[in-house]
Chain A
């Protein structure tokens, strides 16, 4: 490999930046990928508290069929900002900017990402964008959901001024994502340690590697859509206004061309995390490494060709519905290959039931359910019934909360030592898992039949016949909240009081575990060379040149 040869002389970061001194350069405007990763995580978890509070407001409102907590106007703002927050300010930043930054450069044996400055800039676009989104409450937050379909998002029909602010905020996030995507892609292509071939890369790196192009390409398309919406709203440029020749469906195409790949941005890195955690705690090589890596690529590519499955009811030409339906169903095949490989990885293992492992196993179950309902939705006749109902809300939370968020929590427990040098409390962690798992299923399972029976989504009041099940959902959502508060408490408490972890508490085999916890500034004293895949638990470690790392 040419890239490897180019690196024979040592890592790139050797020469460039001496370790900065002083609080600001070290922790605020840091260009160190690990600090930036942690900054991403802290910011995103803060936004998750906000987004989660909004979610609980939703659930409290829906305890009664006649609502009562908020006016419909406020309710609409609440779920729109809830959805936008969770997608753009929580899950995507955590999975890419957060865990991505923190872990994958170390896993490929690099000392930093390709463009550390760009990385810093990416991060620093994120908090202002988040604040802008919340500032939109001051001028009337957006009300038309995270999808903001025109004409509802145009002021003539009752949208608030904050909708433009929303567009600007998400645009900034988009610019940040695009830069992250470029940065990660170059890093993985060019900065792997000697011997780190594509078939020896840890699967989390594969996850980031297939996500990066999605970030780069899909997000730019979203930027175009948002810019068009912004100028439509502010300067009357008639892209989407049907009374002036514009087309509301154009927005839907532009939005979903991004947002379908975006759902894979929100799941592929989580797939990567699961693929690290399962072998580590089963003490077994991951089953079917190549198929897992290859299926991620297949998902990413197919992901660009299915966006119109969100528009089956909106008046898409029938001749287009069919290919979109079939292509969407095809995604079940590579995803299934992954699920089967993971389940088989458990077989014959010596399974350490740590909290991280519990979350990873929980992920397998709940994501599968969410994926299967996704395939139902891909069948056009089924979607004609289910579109726009709580069935969709159920599907999206099963894949996003039961998938992405579970993955994130698993990753948090797994990699926490690499940030802090300490372990999170396992006992509290297991409590949190079971509360979360029960609360989660209790909240979102009933939404499947609520939707099928006729409860539309995005309503502040609903038919009283659905009240009982909504109350069930709400009560269980409080359980889920309790679980998340426990996790948050655990993370804060363990920062000081957790058991010291040492470099490799889990006996894991990827490179980040071969250096001290927390990880030192340059990651490696000597850039290691790699001579085999990372998951052979019965073999000696496949790295050379790490002798001095722990001294």
Chain B
């Protein structure tokens, strides 16, 4: 069996010149990415956008540099080692098989690079995930093919999203039908809106203005229209100075109360809610409510919302009528009924409930966690 001893290899001057040229090109590209005017094309509207852009610059710079080297060598080798017209037909190249040192280094180098990249990404990721305290909680709900929003104490759903500048926001997103997605390019953030699931992100708006919201998850016929460029339901988030936000909020709160045309109160009597019997409530629920409500999470909608955690769901601190989720307010809905964006919740008389029933139902709903 013939020995295949590898010949000694020398890299000539030409190789090092090419390497130097590629190094310069790579440096230029790195500088370009570090100072690239990203924000003049896409503004950074929230604090986290800056962090993500930093990661983007890092990735793009190193990726481009790497690509320049690889392509440069490919090009150089293919030209320099081309077979020339005079080369004999049976000429062979340098018969080397491997070079353990070289292979060691070029395994180690990307490994180190991957580690750096992973650490960098992790830090940014961590910065995105940490929740600021004392936030404004807003819910965004995807529908085929528009978005609605819920605000604390605002009755029902509104069609525009306004956020106060400089105030930390917690955004819960979900869907009422298929999977949508909530992407604000200016925030560099996105989360899918999945029916039956609540996704959350946190940020603080840092730049005033009107920004586009885009749906990036295929959601049916008009998926392509679920962004700002449409005339029917243009999707924007408005980042306002706190004063302007406050007046928008006050106005909305007022209008939505009128809009809700709640059914006339069937009973105004105050209930005493203690002493309810959850077991009786459960039976009542099965008999009278389960046609419209699942004992699942809010988004598991039948006619009305799922009721697991009505009284204990951090993602839904408020009831559909905008009131705080307290036993008293639930009882009020059961007494008066409510008509909102999902439909009509019958009142006490229509559901055939006695006051005792309501007490028992509330006791039961408390157990649904």
Q: Please tell me whether chains A and B touch each other in their complex, using a CB distance cut-off of 8 A.
A: yes
| Closest beta carbon of chain A to B327's beta carbon, Å | 27
In the complex, which residues 223-243 of chain A have their Cβ closer than 8 Å to any Cβ of chain B?
242-243
**Chain B nearest CB: distance from A40 CB in Å?**
31
- Chain B residue numbers with a CB within 8 Å of A157 are 144, 177-178, 220
Indicate whether A305 reaches chain B with its CB closer than 8 angstroms.
Answer: no
Check A243 against B300 for contact (C-beta < 8 Å): yes
Q: Are B125 and A537 in contact (CB under 8 A)?
A: no
A385 and B189 contact, CB distance less than 8 A: yes
Question: In the complex, are the beta carbons of A350 and B81 less than 8 A apart?
Answer: yes
* A35 to B106 CA separation, bound complex (whole angstroms): 42
Contact of B183 with A288 in the complex, beta carbons under 8 Å: no
Cβ of A343 and Cβ of B97 under 8 Å apart?
Answer: no
Q: Which of A130-138, A317-325, A517-525 contacts B (4 or more CB under 8 A)?
A: A317-325
Known: A157-B177, A315-B197. A325 touches B81 (CB 8 A): no
Interface string of B94-109 (1 = CB under 8 A from A): 1111110011001100
Partner of A249, one of B63, B99, B111, B194: B194
Which of B59, B111, B192 gathers the greatest number of chain A CB atoms within 10 Å? Answer: B192
A315-B192, A348-B9, A380-B121 are known contacts. Are A536 and B221 too (CB-CB below 8 A)?
Answer: no
Q: Are B63 and A285 in contact (CB under 8 A)?
A: no
Cα separation A107 to B193 with both chains bound (whole Å): 51
With A290-B98, A351-B81, A456-B215 given, is the CB distance from A343 to B74 under 8 Å?
yes
Does chain A have a CB within 8 A of B265?
A: no
Q: Which B196-215 residues have C-beta < 8 A from chain A?
A: 196-199, 212, 214-215
A372 within 8 A of B: yes
Asked, given contacts A149-B218, A315-B192, A343-B70, whether A384 binds B128 with beta carbons under 8 Å apart, the answer is yes
A284 at the interface (CB under 8 A from B): yes
Check if B93 sits within 8 Å of A283, measured CB to CB.
yes
Asked if B59 and A382 sit within 8 Å, CB to CB, the answer is yes
The residue on A at minimum CB distance from B97 is: A285
Decide if B118 touches A326 in the complex (CB within 8 Å). Answer: yes
The verdict on B77 contacting chain A, using a C-beta distance below 8 Å, is yes
Which residues of the partner chain A approach B227 to less than 8 Å between Cβ atoms?
456, 463
Please count how many residues in chain B sit with their CB below 8 Å of the partner chain's CB atoms.
89
CB of A340 within 8 A of CB of B106, answer: yes
Q: Bound state CA distance, A324 and B300, in angstroms?
A: 29
User: Would you call A531 an interface residue if the criterion is a C-beta within 8 Å of the partner chain's C-beta atoms?
Assistant: yes
Q: Is the CB of A352 within 8 A of B83?
A: yes
Answer yes or no: B87 CB below 8 A from chain A CBs. Answer: yes
Residues of A within 8 A of B96 (CB): 284-285, 287, 348
Closest-CB distance, B319 to chain A (whole angstroms): 21
Chain A, 367-399, CB within 8 A of any chain B CB: 368-369, 372-373, 375-376, 379-382, 384-385, 387-389
B280 CB to closest chain A CB, in angstroms?
Answer: 25
The yes or no answer to A462 lying at the interface (CB within 8 A) is yes
Nearest opposing residue in chain A for B77, CB measure: A346
Give the contact stretch, choosing among A259-267, A329-337, A406-414: A329-337
User: Is A531 within 8 A of B93, CB to CB?
Assistant: no
Residue from the set B93, B128, B302 with the largest chain A CB neighbour count within 10 Å: B93
Contact bitstring B288-317, A, C-beta under 8 A = 1, else 0: 000000001001111000000000000000
Q: B196 to chain A: which residues have CB within 8 Å?
A: 242, 247-248
Inter-chain CA distance A326–B227, complex, in Å, is 33
Q: Mark A145-179, 1 if CB is under 8 A from B, else 0.
A: 10001011000011000000000000000000000
CB-nearest residue of chain B to A386:
B190
Contact B55 A379, beta carbon cutoff 8 Å: yes
B155 within 8 A of A: no
Q: A151-B178, A454-B42 are in contact. List 18 more A-B contacts (CB 8 A).
A: A144-B218, A315-B191, A315-B197, A326-B118, A329-B117, A340-B106, A350-B87, A351-B83, A375-B63, A375-B117, A382-B52, A387-B216, A388-B183, A388-B217, A389-B216, A453-B41, A463-B227, A537-B93
Sample of 28 A–B contacts (CB below 8 Å)? A144-B218, A145-B218, A149-B179, A151-B177, A242-B195, A285-B97, A322-B125, A332-B110, A332-B114, A337-B107, A337-B110, A339-B70, A347-B73, A348-B96, A353-B78, A353-B82, A365-B70, A382-B55, A384-B190, A388-B190, A453-B41, A453-B185, A456-B223, A456-B227, A458-B218, A458-B223, A536-B95, A539-B4
Query: Which residues of B does A touch, CB under 8 Å?
Result: 1-2, 4, 9, 41-42, 51-52, 55-56, 59-60, 63, 66-67, 70-71, 73-74, 77-78, 81-83, 87, 90-99, 102-103, 106-107, 110-111, 114, 117-118, 120-122, 124-125, 128-129, 144, 177-179, 181, 183, 185, 188-192, 194-199, 212, 214-225, 227, 229, 296, 299-302
Query: Chain A interface (Cβ within 8 Å of chain B)?
Result: 72-73, 76, 143-145, 149, 151-152, 157-158, 242-243, 245, 247-249, 282-285, 287-291, 313-315, 318, 321-322, 325-326, 329-330, 332-333, 336-337, 339-341, 343-344, 346-353, 361, 364-365, 368-369, 372-373, 375-376, 379-382, 384-385, 387-389, 452-454, 456-464, 507, 531-532, 536-540
In the A-B complex, the 10 residue pairs with the closest CB atoms: A388-B216, A459-B224, A349-B93, A284-B93, A348-B94, A242-B196, A346-B77, A379-B121, A242-B195, A336-B110
